Amino acid sequence: EVQLLESGGDLVQPGGSLRLSCAASGFTFSSYAMSWVRQAPGKGLEWVSIISGSGGSTYYADSVKGRFTISRDNSKNTLYMEMNSLRAEDTAVYYCAKGFQTAAGSAYNWFDPWGQGTLVTVSS
């Protein structure tokens, strides 16, 4: 069974940093692109970033470009999101999700499954 388990969410002050992790199991992790999607309280889904299976290709939403860095450790079956210069508008539940193919920019990257999410709150 494919499982994704996020961790690292916390309360952080504006301008602060945080690193999220997503531990994967039940599939060949390095063969699939992985993505982060977030959901602000009471709002809809916002795609954040995606990384290819090898880790060599990444894409970001404009809202986080230059502040967030997606990475992966295929030896540990773990996806990461390094979040810097955090703002109040980054407050959200962050989900990791498995892509359908290995390439990050592929049109075949629908997301299934998703993890249970981890809450990031940016507030003073």
Note the residues at the interface with other proteins (CB under 8 A): 35, 37, 44-47, 50, 59-62, 95, 100, 104-117
Shortest distance, position 106 Cβ to other proteins, whole Å: 8
The residue among 104, 101, 98 whose CA lies nearest residue 51 is: 104
Shortest distance, position 19 Cβ to other proteins, whole Å: 21
For the chain, the C-alpha Rg in angstroms (whole number) is 13
**Nearer to other proteins (CB atom), residue 96 or residue 122:** 96
The tokens describing 65, both together, are 């470009």
CB 61 within 8 A of CB 44: no
**Nearer to other proteins (CB atom), residue 12 or residue 50:** 50
What is the rounded distance in angstroms from the CA atom of residue 21 to the CA atom of residue 78?
A: 7
- Amino acid 105 reads G
Shortest distance, position 41 Cβ to other proteins, whole Å: 12
**Nearer to other proteins (CB atom), residue 3 or residue 13:** 3
**Nearer to other proteins (CB atom), residue 16 or residue 47:** 47
Reported as type and span, the H/E element at residue 82 is: strand 78-83
